[in-house]
Structure 1
């Protein structure tokens, strides 16, 4: 059985390394789960964030790497059981010259510009916290946003705190700041997504995920990419 999975260039979750090998925490998780359900061939399809949901809907590939689950997205695709829970964070120039630590701190500075990837949940989160439309600069992908950050065209890039931490560790020109959890303590979860007609693959993946998530092997594999128990335990506890 062959499965085609779409991914983005967003380390440490998914990316193409210097040997042109697709790697990352979510790529490895997908590989383990798919092999366990009898998949013999896995094809990776690089795409843009905006094309993830349309692509899987139209059958250009069979499943997507994990992204945040939202009610709006669930109208067009079906999500698997959650595989992680992640807070947002800023990636900033080293030294954080404008002292940006949260959406609210950025909103308070009219001269501050925030880089976001088109179609991501962080756009809504920023606006809800008071960041104005003219403070937000939208990019097609992460690499373009990081180039703009280094060029001084934006003052912060928002993504997951885990992802930004990994980028800062690998490049001293950056530093990362994690946002605090919401007051209700809830942390957004992410999951694989499928077309609404692909019931068999979804069911098989879900069954294996529930067996595998939280296991010693799972935790060890995720730790290599900076995914800790904190990002795993809440989805395990939820038994979703």
Structure 2
């Protein structure tokens, strides 16, 4: 009977189970994720090599002129290694780590989750997934507030694959598309797109794309050739918050 149970456990029947319990499932960038991983033994004793947590997110990739949803690992942590879980036994492994600053916020179709896995040799590895709602940190919120004050509305936010020279550590970036609905830029711009590259909680690099509205025949030709789009990089700091609206307005105005 013991041998039969071992065979069943090797294919995942009666094997150890894993369940991750987060203390908070809604977090801002840079905040600490805390929780506990519960491992419950199955019908037989099993050797567990590792427990690992992977922070994952979805993004889109263009394949043959259509969008395909892909998954990427943002960061991975090992929280335990080499132990035995007895049949019916329960063990708990607490964890705590900072939510990486380049984690995408959960807006639009973007999904972020914590994947938990047990590494068991010669057996199906038990897993668990827990979704996280990621909120922007103070620096991002200030940029969103300024754009709203300047008359822009967030039209779309999307994580998508981009060329190597644009992205940083991940295979994708999260792009925010703002359209002018009031104020001085209405009628002058089609949209402003932004990508955030946080360096620290107090410093962030912005890649801004200003898409000018086509004016006349020359403008239409420029738009057709994508010559009406201007990219600019700017780094903002905590001390810029008081003057951020003035500085962003001047930058957008320069390329409008």
TM over 0.5: no
After TM superposition, the score normalised by the length of structure 1 is: 0.26
Q: Which has the higher contact order (CA 8 A, sep 6+)?
A: 1
* Bigger CA radius of gyration: 2
**Higher strand fraction (1 or 2):** 2
**Higher helix fraction (1 or 2):** 1
